[in-house]
Structure 1
Amino acid sequence: MVSPKNSEDNIAQPLIENNSFLPQYSSTEPTNVTNGSVLTPTGSINFNMSFVFSLLVSFGALLFASTVWYIASSVDYFFFIWHPTLMAMVLLMATQGSAVLQKAESRQEKDASLNFHKLMQSITFLSVIGGFYVTYTFKAEGNKEHFTSPHGKSGLITFLLILIQTIAGSTLVNFPGVVGGAAKARGMYKYHRISGYLVLFLVWLTALGGTQADWTKSQFDHLWVWLLAAGMVLVGTIGGINSNKLKVR
């Protein structure tokens, strides 16, 4: 099914066939695929840079999350350990959910990537609620004040923004009538993408703050590992950005 072209948004085809309520993209939209080449003794080898950037993001996020889970599995169990465990899941799923949309180029890739994005962000939504509940309950039981540290304050802000971002994205895709119809929902999609990068930045900033907590450092005091993981994600995310998808008119 092909919908009439929208000259205002340069949108022609639905992201998923037979559903006119989802964000739509033009089949002629400029892509962000860039090819690179490496000289070898037998000649040059071409490769897709968007795939390279995607690998950087995936490896960086997995390195960070798996290190947190390694720490959690190496200590004696106590209730609070679920907080970093779940928040590492938030970081991994949120990062992967954003990266998959970056590298999607063809119609089929966009169809699949949206479904994957929705799955990843749903896991993020549930995990951040669980992680927040754990830390709030743990401090309440110990009669400790809430949100007093920079990590706690940034965590609260990030928690709220993730909830807003997830609800907003779900509304635009599944219930466009809430914002005035499919056309208006498509027009707002760019704002959702931009705010998504902001939320992802705050997720990583908060996570890095958590790695410098006294308890975390007592278990794993290797700052270079955290910075390496964050650096890989930063380079991969910035390199994979398609500026055309961020244009706000």
Structure 2
Amino acid sequence: MAPSTALSQGSAPIQRKQVAEDKTQPSHDTSQQQEDEFSMAQLWNGTGFIAQTAVVTFSLSLSGRLLARPLVLFSWHPLSQISGLFLLVQSILALQPTHTAGQKRVGQAVHAYLNLASFAAFTAGFAAIYLNKERNGAEHFASLHGALGCALTLLLWGQYLVGFTMWATPALYGGAARARALWKWHRVGGYVNLLLLLTTFCTAADTGFVRNALKVESWVFYAPMALIAVGVLPRIHTYKLGFSKKA
């Protein structure tokens, strides 16, 4: 019995040491879980920092000018459109850096809900300018900015409807597999709409309200819109659009 007892006592320190090492070393599962986690910090990675800096600076500076004036019905048009632009950029960046299945799953949910919020903002902005023109007896969609804004609003409604139903109710498209096969066209449409949106914001620089009431120079619109494009477009994975094969 004595040798057996001595052996068990001698092995105890070894077992305790092994347990301590197991506690101090992160497990493979924990490391993998951390890699799969989605982080909003990813929205600032790479050239995303350029897009974020541009959209945040533009949104704050222009909103500040608008809020410094008395709020009227028309005020809700630019304020809502600025909010919609900010939310839309966030929704696009939320999906661009995803790599793992876990990141994609969370990223798709973030993308969907941010898009829903931007959809509400753009719709409110459209309603504000439409009602304002009705109240004042002004002609609708007479300027380039107005015509582009109307066309883009219709395109965005279609984009949101298709994208949300593909994500939430894929059965409408014949099942999840068929819905995923259409994702590339949804992505292409999203980037085209983004470029049209940035162009529409640039045309706002030539409106009488911006020039005469806000007294804002054109570059205040042109520069941020260009930087948003510079920040977003390089993050596109062309293989997800069907233009190349995954490396």
- TM-score by length of structure 1 reads 0.76
Shift, 1:248, TM fit:
6.0
Larger mean CA deviation between 129-138 and 223-232 belongs to: 223-232
- The gaps in structure 1 that reach 5 residues or longer are 1-26, 28-47
Task: Supply the distance in 2 between the matched residues of 1:55 and 1:105 (Cα, whole angstroms).
Answer: 19
Aligned length: 202
State the alpha-carbon separation in 2 of the partners of residues 104 and 183 from structure 1: 20
**Alpha-carbon distance in 1 for matches of 2:119, 2:224:** 22
Q: Is residue 74 of structure 2 the alignment partner of residue 80 of structure 1?
A: yes
Deviation at 1:93, TM superposition (A): 0.9
> What percentage of aligned pairs have identical amino acids?
25
1:122 aligns with 2:127: no
Equivalent in the alignment of 2:98? 104
Write the deviation string for residues 69-124 of structure 1: whole angstroms up to 9, x where unpaired: 11211212211000000000111111111111111223332222112111210111
Partners of 1:106 and 1:61 in 2: how far apart? 27
Q: In 2, Cα distance between the equivalents of 1:192 and 1:109?
A: 19
Task: Give the secondary structure class of the aligned counterpart of 1:145.
Answer: coil
**Distance in structure 2 (CA, Å) of the matches to 1:143 and 1:64:** 31
Q: Distance in 2 between matches of 1:83 and 1:177?
A: 36
Whether 2:238 is the aligned partner of 1:238: answer no
Alignment partner for residue 247 of structure 1, among 238, 242, 247? 242
Contact 1:61/1:233, CA 8 A, preserved across alignment: yes
Q: Is the 8 A contact 1:194 1:246 kept in 2?
A: yes
Name the one with the larger strand percent. Answer: 1
Show structure 1 runs of 4+ deviating over 3 A.
Answer: none
Tell me the equivalent position of 1:42. none
The CA RMSD over aligned residues, in Å, is 1.9
Richer in helix (by share): 2
Aligned pair partner of 2:223 in 212, 228, 242: 228
1:184 aligned residue (178, 184, 200): 178
> Any unmatched runs of 5+ in structure 2?
1-35, 37-41
Aligned counterparts of 1:207 and 1:59: Cα–Cα separation in 2:
17
Say which SS state the counterpart of residue 52 (structure 1) adopts.
coil
